[in-house]
Chain A
Amino acid sequence: MIAGGGMLVGFSALSNSETGDNTEATPFSPNAYIKISTDGKITLMSPNPEIGQGVKTSLVMLIAEEMNVDWQTIEVEIAPLDAKYGSQTTGGSGAIRSRYAPLRQAGATAKAMLMAAAADTWGVAVTECYAEKGFIVHKNSGKKLSYGELATKAAGMPVPANVPLKDPKDFTIIGTRVKDVDAKAIVTGKPLFGIDTRKEGMLFAVVARPPAHGKKLQSFDDSAALKVNGVKKVVQVKNSVAVLATSTWAAMKGRTALKINWEDASKLESTTDHEKAFRDLLSKPAATPNRNDGDVDAAMSAATKVLDVMYEVPVLSHAQMEPLNFYADVRDGKAELYGPTQVPQSLVSAVAKELNIPATNVSLGLPRQGGGFGRKLRPDNGVEAALVSQAAQCPVQVQWSREDDMQNDYYRPSGMFRFKAAIKDGNLEAWHQSFASLSNGRSPDTYPAGAVQNLKIESHSLPTNIPTGPWRAPTHNVQAFANESFMDEVAHELKKDPVAFRLELLKKAKEQPVGKLAYDPDKFISVIELVAKMCNWGKTPANTYRGFSTWFSFNSYVAQVVEIQMLKGKPRITKVYCAVHCGKVVNVSGAENQVQGAVVDGLGHAVYTKLTFNNGAAVQTNFGPYNFVRMRNTPLDVVVQFVPSEENPTGLGEPGLPPIAPALANALFAATGKRFRKMPFVDDIQFA
């Protein structure tokens, strides 16, 4: 356990090899991802920040697979920010997708150099040697040398280009179930996170920011704050006031004692204003449709029936469990930073720009992070900490409270959809969707585009001073809800089975696509057929109601079935089936966990959660009022299966989330005969 006295924790990635043992040399480091020391210690670097998506484990599996190391013996570190790791941004479910080949190449190159070193030592041909669990073995004699023993010599071998990669059938690590490399440290409470940073001379800071969007700092009086036990300094940073103290609690009490005058700088918006504006926008056509296939208006006129409904989604906070924080030490024209971010490169650029120093004078170490969900795609937490350190002239950890997080988020934008469908002769003739939102997010080529003869997609964005940003599966997380719930309405109107109806549409998209086709109908069909098989679709268990949905995002395909039971008139979600096509699965345990988590996340937000504004201030500023899914609302089981594939991996952190809300809405319709078109559902029905 760390003793008192400000021992630095988690900074080992900043120095090259701070290990605690007495190994002075890391002789073999063929690339930025691999370090082998003479005592046999092998350290592999995960180049992307770990925010709970599992890359500290899965990215390293890619290197380890091609290196033939013993998984049980390696050490894993999160790489600090360094250009040699390429883009270290974590977002868009992209880490495994973009690094699948390069990281395997890094491992294969190291293995080739170790084999060359062994062959040279023994005076034999490389082809007579093979690598196994951290050793190079000579086939005929059985002689073997460990990677540690070979490290010094391997470092002198020429670096080969384009080393052949393994045939997937020879994988022994990729495609298996591997536990999180930090599992033991997590369950024993080790200081892994940014919030756990403790450093000599560091003060704890909290910041008073404007209490509503649209307000700015006018003046403040810090005399009472400075009298609070433990408070050392108060500094102004732009539109905010920071209180620095010897403990977080003292800083919080100091902030409460500040007397601040805020003034109105722009309009103070309320959720009710937004809802009215969305309705106004949706009553008119957009200037230019995002997509316009066939003739929707003619099909609507010729229809025997037109469905015309609205769907609504609220603003959400990211609410990652670790409230934002950042450590910064700015002095002598340099900045040393450590903290949670999904965008290391742009955070450093932003800090350098704000402090007016070269980016090369800014260093950034990356801890494990208590969730991200898109919040940390903005660098504001790091920039603010740097400015506080600069103004206070001391190292500082800025800690946000949960209320700070919820008032100062880049929120999931709220929005409203209008859907119209033309029905004639038992067919879906036209599909018309309009979306009005606080953002300009849109995905016009999303399914069912390509499968419907006449289709129009329109979007309107409402200008606002409420900051919005990406939230797990941006745009998809609202679009899937509206699209796939409405699709169920259409299937019901046509008296078609919801699964059979999707398969019919996708068959059309495959055989006679209309306009641009942005998805692969065969892969879509593969997940729908798999989930139908998993749950024995068509044979619903007694006292159970089912809803189905499917969605394509981040190049992955997901189909889901939700089962609910009605307990004294209240729905209880009992079981969820998920079929996923995401190419090759790297870590089966981690991948399954991501999909199960996305399901609970998506269900929870669909049923319980919303954030509203009153005159620019968030009305729900902490868990409780910001209603959140808990154990008693969690399905008893979430069963996940992957369509077997040797294709390169596609996204997985996000694609499991979008289809779950409509699958639940459709199950609720099956149970109650009512459509649930507005999130959160708990506003309209009480859950068991």
Chain B
Amino acid sequence: MPKYTLSVNNKQMSVEVDADTPLLWVLRDELNLVGTKYGCGVAQCGACTIHYNGNPVRSCQLPVSAVGNGKVVTIEGLSENGDHPVQQAWIEMDVAQCGYCQAGQIMAAAALLKKNSNPSDEEIDTTITNICRCGTNVRIRKAIHLAASKGGKS
């Protein structure tokens, strides 16, 4: 099997996997970074959202062979101490119910705030397309506004 060296959360990590292996499964099964979640495998639900060169990407659709030198950041690497403004806002708003989709939601929200520091409801609604089966959507929207008010792009 081919060998790949990836930049994940600012560390160089090596894996030997088939070229078509989605980054999602490399993170979860090879690198033991299980915060990135599997939900659908077809880029619909967003549970596997990571940052790739700063952009939100559904890692179930990114084969390891296409990652190259791109910088991958997962929920584990979003902040050093788990205190990114979006993570703080999620705790403050007590967003989670089951919590399974929230890593993907947070990564999508953090990427949005990096590009747009004060998004409107409309901008949140069209950008955040992740699925939450528990229906925490109302609190997610409020938490994004809260993170924005705290300078959420850091």
Contacts and interface: CB of A to CB of B under 8 A. Distances in A.
Q: Do A and B bind each other?
A: yes
Interface of A: 1-4, 50-54, 177, 179-180, 182-184, 186-193, 195-196, 198, 204, 229-230, 246-250, 253, 319-323, 368-373, 399, 401-402, 589-590, 593-594, 596-601, 604, 622-624, 628-632, 634-638
Nearest to B34: A196
Nearest to B16: A229
A191 B74 CA distance: 13
Given A179-B94, A321-B131, A371-B100, A635 B38 contact: no
29 contacts: A183-B90, A183-B91, A183-B96, A186-B90, A187-B82, A188-B76, A190-B35, A191-B35, A198-B34, A321-B134, A322-B98, A371-B133, A373-B133, A402-B39, A402-B40, A593-B97, A594-B97, A596-B135, A599-B135, A601-B135, A622-B44, A623-B40, A623-B44, A623-B131, A630-B130, A630-B131, A631-B130, A632-B126, A634-B141
Contact of A198 (B32, B41, B139): B32
A57 to B, nearest CB: 9
A589 B91 CA distance: 12
Given A187-B91, A320-B133, A600 B98 contact: no
B99 A247 contact: no
Given A198-B34, A249-B29, A183 B94 contact: yes
A629 B125 CA distance: 12
Contacts of A180: 94, 96, 99
Contacts of A3: 32
Given A187-B91, A601-B133, 11 more contacts: A4-B31, A52-B98, A187-B82, A187-B103, A198-B34, A320-B98, A322-B100, A597-B97, A624-B44, A634-B135, A634-B137
Given A183-B90, A198-B32, A189 B137 contact: no
Contacts, number: 204
A53 B97 CA distance: 6
B17 A631 contact: no
A191 B141 CA distance: 25
A622 B82 contact: no
Contact of B136 (A248, A250, A399, A593): A593
B97 A54 contact: yes
A76 to B, nearest CB: 14
A262 to B, nearest CB: 23
Contact of B138 (A53, A190, A247, A638): A638
B118 interface: no
B67 interface: no
Contacts of A183: 90-91, 94, 96
Size class of the B contact interface (CB-based, 8 Å): 35 or more
A603 to B, nearest CB: 8
A354 B134 CA distance: 33
Interface in B120-154: 121, 124-126, 128-141
Contacts of A2: 32
A624 B126 CA distance: 16
Interface string B13-39: 000011001100100111111111111
Nearest to B126: A632
B106 interface: yes
A617 B35 CA distance: 33
B87 interface: yes
A54, A191, A590, A631 — most chain B CB neighbours (10 Å): A631
A182, A183, A323 — most chain B CB neighbours (10 Å): A183
Contacts of B17: 247, 249
B21 A189 contact: no
Contacts of A189: 33-36, 74-76, 103
A504 B132 CA distance: 39
B34 A191 contact: yes
Those 7 A-B pairs whose CB atoms lie nearest each other, nearest first: A189-B35, A52-B98, A370-B100, A600-B135, A189-B75, A597-B135, A623-B44
Contacts of A1: 32-33, 76
B42 A624 contact: yes
A54 B99 CA distance: 10
Contacts of A250: 18
Contact of A623 (B31, B42, B124, B134): B42
Contacts of B100: 52, 193, 320-322, 370-371
Contacts of B28: 248
A221 B90 CA distance: 49
A52 to B, nearest CB: 3
B72 interface: no
B101, B125, B133 — most chain A CB neighbours (10 Å): B133
Contacts of A370: 37, 98-101
B45 to A, nearest CB: 5
Nearest to B88: A187
Given A183-B91, A187-B87, A628 B97 contact: no
Nearest to A371: B98
B22, B29, B47, B75 — most chain A CB neighbours (10 Å): B29
B102 interface: yes
B37 A322 contact: yes
B81 to A, nearest CB: 9
Nearest to B47: A321
B96 A323 contact: no
A630 B99 contact: no
Contact of B39 (A321, A373, A637): A321
Contacts of B90: 183, 186-187
A177, A321, A599, A638 — most chain B CB neighbours (10 Å): A321
Contacts of A321: 37, 39, 45, 47, 98, 100-101, 131-134
A402 B44 CA distance: 11
Nearest to A190: B35
Contact of A249 (B22, B33, B34, B125): B22
A625 to B, nearest CB: 9
A229 B94 contact: no
